[in-house]
Amino acid sequence: MSGPSPQGAARTGDNPFLKAVAAISTLAGWVSAAMIVIAVCIVCQMIFVRFVLNGSTVWQTEAVIYLMIAATLIGLPYVQRLRGHVNVDLVPLALPMKARKVLCIFTLGLSALIIATMLFYAYEFWHFAWARGWRSDTVWGVMLWKPYLSLPIGLALLLLQLLADLYAVIADIDKPFGIEAEGLTARATGDL
């Protein structure tokens, strides 16, 4: 099965840490959605200026590109919270619950390690652009540290959500991979 888990969002129980991370991830999702709406409005404005007023555009294309990239990065933790990233759960479904939990802890831990490494280099890249005062090579000439800031912010929020998911599985607040039933036999008999 690919796509979001049928169980929906990751469980938080009564844990204040998990609730706080869920609220932050949800806020990030709303900010990401707002960025997409703003980008669409800018595209509409650009079309009006170019084809109705027969004018030129200076900043619109670049702004839309930066907004869409930022929306993608800032939206990562929300998608992780909803279990919306593409997955293939054939192996977890075939495993008994204990082995499934070990696999889930391993994959979440490895994912967190990879994202932490990416976060380190993203922060380094952002800081380099900020310290050197990099500007885009366009007429607008935006300071590149501003759009590049979405890299460390998005990856930091994703790392936080991954760590919350890992904690929830270890503390038995959430089921591994969000799968409730035992193995393929439950799915075959329709117990899911």
Q: Quick check: is 3 in a domain?
A: no
Most confidently modeled range among 1-5, 83-87, 148-152 = 148-152
**Residue of 31, 35, 27 whose CA lies nearest to 68:** 35
Q: Say what angle helices 16-47 and 150-170 make with each other, to 10 degrees.
A: 150
- Segment 25-41 shows an average pLDDT of 97
**Total domains in the fold of the chain:** 1
Helix ranges (DSSP H) in 95-170? 97-132, 145-148, 150-170
Q: Quick check: is 51 in a domain?
A: yes
**With 80 as the cut, is the pLDDT of residue 23 above it?**
yes
**Residue of 65, 67, 66, 60 whose CA lies nearest to 38:** 67
pTM: 0.84
Residue with structure tokens 């959500």? Answer: 161
Helix ranges (DSSP H) in 12-96? 16-47, 60-74, 76-81, 90-94
pLDDT of residue 182: 57
Report the distance separating Cα 146 and Cα 158, nearest Å.
19
Residues 183 and 93 sit within 8 Å (Cβ to Cβ)? yes
Q: Quick check: is 8 in a domain?
A: no
CA 104, chain centre distance (Å): 18
**With 90 as the cut, is the pLDDT of residue 20 above it?**
yes
Q: Quick check: is 77 in a domain?
A: yes
User: pLDDT tens digit string along 38-83?
Assistant: 999 999 999 999 989 988 888 999 999 999 999 999 999 999 999 8
Longest dimension (CA), the chain: 65
User: pLDDT tens digit string along 80-125?
Assistant: 999 887 777 788 888 888 989 999 999 999 999 999 999 999 999 9
| Both structure tokens of 174 | 């959430």
The parent domain of residue 76 ranges over 16-189
